[in-house]
Amino acid sequence: MIVLGIESSCDETGLAVYDTERGLLADVLHSQVALHGEYGGVVPELASRDHVRYLLPLTEQVLTKAGITKSELDGVAYTAGPGLMGALMVGACTGRAMAMALGIPAVAVHHMEGHLLAPMLEEAVPEFPFVALLVSGGHTLLAEVKGIGQYELLGESLDDAAGEAFDKTAKMLGLGYPGGPILARLAEQGEAGAYRFPRPMCDRPGLDFSFSGLKTFSLNTWQKETEQGNKNEQTQANICRAFEDAVVDTLVIKSRRAIQQVGAKTLVIAGGVGANLSLRKSLNTMMQKEGGQLFYPRIEFCTDNGAMIAYAGALRLLGGETEPLAINVRARWPMSELDAVVN
């Protein structure tokens, strides 16, 4: 089965073609980072307008790259939520209508399920059951994954998502947009142990997270140093390092607790913050000590992309799921509402 995947839930237009026999055939991406950079954050209306301009040209491109014609497609998958309503609508309207005209089924994909399954696009595929650490701009959660669509929430962020905390902290330090990757790069030049930031919620049992305090802690440190005449790049780098270490440590501690709690040997990391190399390294070390294994997607499939949508959609289509002749999108969509796929 050959499936076209469409991702347009936020500020990236992603298209991909996945073949259940041959694997991923092609994927292309248009990022709107430059467009929104001028505004210091994603402007939903501009995001929607940009998706409309790029969706078909990218579709043509991805089909050419995959070496197939549109008549060879067996299904169309698109992100139907959660995300920005107007942006989701573009991919869903185009994708649903395309499937109608091609006479093939369409399937609505949950964006976070896409992220969660992205590691399965790699050669070494994690086996169920596993624990997933999903860390993106909008979500931070730990879940036990027993199968496709069988997600048991173990813990989640009570305030800012990890990616959001990265972005907000970067903004407060004046690092530009999008802050996460910039902060991570600067942290590499930071001195380890220059500051000691708290590891929020680690001193008590449970698997929930809270990251908003770290951002305040970073700001206070920056202000104090500024007052003392230490407003320079090294100070900035040191704060970035302390912040990153605190986030990474916290994620590692909670992930270890999660795999011990459910007795899993496999940890899967997905979502934009999964691109963070320090996090990957620390989780890897932890899993080795635990006698288990860590799986993660290639860097470009950590952030939003069409490949994960094509993949998740293909699995759901194989499971017999299809959309009715209507366009349904949901800005909010709890993962617990997903149905299990039984093949």
**Binding region for ligand ADP (CB under 6 A):** 10, 136-139, 163-164, 166-167, 178-181, 184, 271-273, 275-276, 303-304
| 240 within 8 A of 225, measured Cβ to Cβ | no
Q: Under rule CB under 8 A, how many of the chain's residues touch other proteins?
A: 37
Instruction: State phi, psi for 62 to the nearest 5 degrees.
Output: -70, -35
Give whichever of 43 and 194 is closer to other proteins, judged by the CB atom.
43
Beta-bridge partner residues of 282 = none
Distances (CA, A) of 117 to 81, 165, 262: 16, 24, 19
Distances (CA, A) of 181 to 66, 170, 175, 206, 249: 30, 9, 10, 29, 18
What's 201's DSSP letter? T
Rounded least distance, CB 260 to ligand ADP, Å:
25
Q: Is 34 in the site for other proteins (CB under 8 A)?
A: no
| 309 within 8 A of 8, measured Cβ to Cβ | no
Give whichever of 105 and 163 is closer to ligand ADP, judged by the CB atom.
163
The sheet that has 150-156: what strands, in order across it?
150-156, 140-147, 130-135, 266-270, 293-295
| CA-derived radius of gyration, the chain | 20
Q: Is 329 in the site for other proteins (CB under 8 A)?
A: yes
Site string for other proteins, 81-120 (x = CB under 8 A): ----xx--xxxxxxxxxxxxxx------------------
Beta-bridge partner residues of 5 = 16, 77
Selection from ligand ADP, other proteins, none that 10 binds (CB < 5 to 8 A by kind) is ligand ADP
Selection from ligand ADP, other proteins, none that 247 binds (CB < 5 to 8 A by kind) is none
Listed ranges 50-58, 120-128, 248-256, 303-311: which one lies at the site for other proteins (CB under 8 A): 50-58
Under the phi-then-psi rule, with left for phi > 0, alpha for psi from -120 to 50, and beta for the rest, what region is 32?
alpha
| 322 within 8 A of 80, measured Cβ to Cβ | no
Say if strands 106-110 and 75-81 run parallel, antiparallel, or are unpaired: parallel
Give whichever of 140 and 221 is closer to ligand ADP, judged by the CB atom.
140
Selection from other proteins, ligand ADP, none that 42 binds (CB < 5 to 8 A by kind) is none
Give whichever of 98 and 329 is closer to ligand ADP, judged by the CB atom.
329
Rounded least distance, CB 255 to ligand ADP, Å:
16
Give whichever of 105 and 119 is closer to ligand ADP, judged by the CB atom.
119
Rounded least distance, CB 208 to ligand ADP, Å:
18
Q: Residue numbers of the site for other proteins (CB under 8 A)?
A: 38-40, 43, 45-46, 48-49, 52-53, 55-57, 59-60, 70, 85-86, 89-102, 325-329
